[in-house]
């Protein structure tokens, strides 16, 4: 293990506490929409991957529910057709950095991880994302400022689902936990894929969403994309 990796491993819980939602990363993070209306948003991180993301898109189409996909630039480059499909089917694409690196967002001067991801997405969709979710949720004040100065809305969450855990919980457990944490304006953080791999086999997220959506709708909630929930733009024009 490299020294750098060891520092991250030891520092992980501490850094996560101070840098991640719901408490970290302030004041730059937006973690939820208005608490006054029963509107909520599904978000999916780390893709797109062939297999898992496609399975999820099939489910979202059947459920007739929109989602917001925070895509990793390298995955966008590997699977541009899936990114096109995400947009074509009424979902929104945001940036989740170029390589999902822990160090890039912590560094003082590095903006390459932001700008490369912007180009990767813009090359496919013809416009730049205006929504950003930092990898690992880690947001330093200086990373927050450089994202804001580039016109990004930095999207956190207030429902951190259990679908990232290893071993994976079963889908009903993931759904029940998410239902219990739901409030008006909630933003759910799910993972449909895996960073830096082209294909991924994951069905727990899909099964959990299939269970979550009808339950939440029965409680009088409407699902919208994150930009609609927060009242912000999802995209900006392509760079000149």
For the annotated catalytic residues, the residue numbers are: 45, 191
Q: What one-character-per-residue DSSP string does 60-72 give?
A: HHHHT--EEEEE-
CB of 240 to Zn ion, least distance (A): 30
Q: For residues 49 and 52, give the distance between their C-alpha atoms in angstroms, rounded to a whole number.
A: 6
CB of 126 to Zn ion, least distance (A): 25
CB of 133 to Zn ion, least distance (A): 7
| Contact pattern from residue 133 through residue 152 relative to Zn ion, giving x for each residue in contact according to CB under 5 A and a dash for the rest | --x-----------------
Q: Residue 221 gets which letter from DSSP?
A: -
Tell me, by CB under 5 A, how many residues bind Zn ion. Answer: 3
CB of 195 to Zn ion, least distance (A): 6
| Contact pattern from residue 36 through residue 55 relative to Zn ion, giving x for each residue in contact according to CB under 5 A and a dash for the rest | ---------xx---------
Select 46 or 54, whichever has its Cβ closest to Zn ion: 46
163 binds Zn ion (CB under 5 A): no
Q: Which residues bind Zn ion (CB under 5 A)?
A: 45-46, 135
């Amino acid at each position: 293990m490299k020294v750098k990796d060891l520092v991250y491993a030891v520092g992980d819980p501490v850094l996560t506490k101070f840098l991640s939602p719901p408490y970290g990363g302030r004041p730059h993070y937006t973690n939820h929409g208005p608490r006054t209306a029963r509107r909520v948003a599904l978000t999916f991180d780390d893709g797109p991957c062939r297999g898992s993301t496609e399975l999820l898109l099939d489910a979202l189409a059947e459920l007739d529910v929109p989602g917001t996909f925070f895509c990793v630039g390298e995955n966008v480059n590997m699977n541009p057709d899936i990114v096109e499909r995400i947009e074509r089917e009424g979902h929104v694409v945001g940036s989740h950095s170029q390589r999902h690196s822990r160090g890039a967002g912590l560094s003082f001067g590095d903006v390459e991880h932001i700008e490369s991801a912007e180009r990767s997405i813009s090359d496919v969709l013809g416009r730049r994302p205006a929504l950003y979710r930092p990898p690992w949720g880690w947001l330093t004040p200086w990373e927050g400022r450089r994202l804001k100065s580039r016109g990004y809305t930095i999207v956190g969450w207030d429902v951190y689902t259990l679908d990232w855990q290893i071993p994976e919980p079963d889908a009903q457990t993931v759904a029940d936990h998410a239902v219990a944490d739901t409030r008006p304006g909630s933003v759910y953080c799910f993972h449909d894929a895996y960073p830096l791999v082209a294909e991924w086999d994951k069905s727990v997220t899909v099964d959990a969403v299939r269970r979550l959506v009808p339950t939440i709708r029965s409680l009088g909630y409407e699902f919208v994309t994150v930009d609609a929930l927060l009242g912000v733009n999802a995209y900006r024009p392509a760079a000149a």
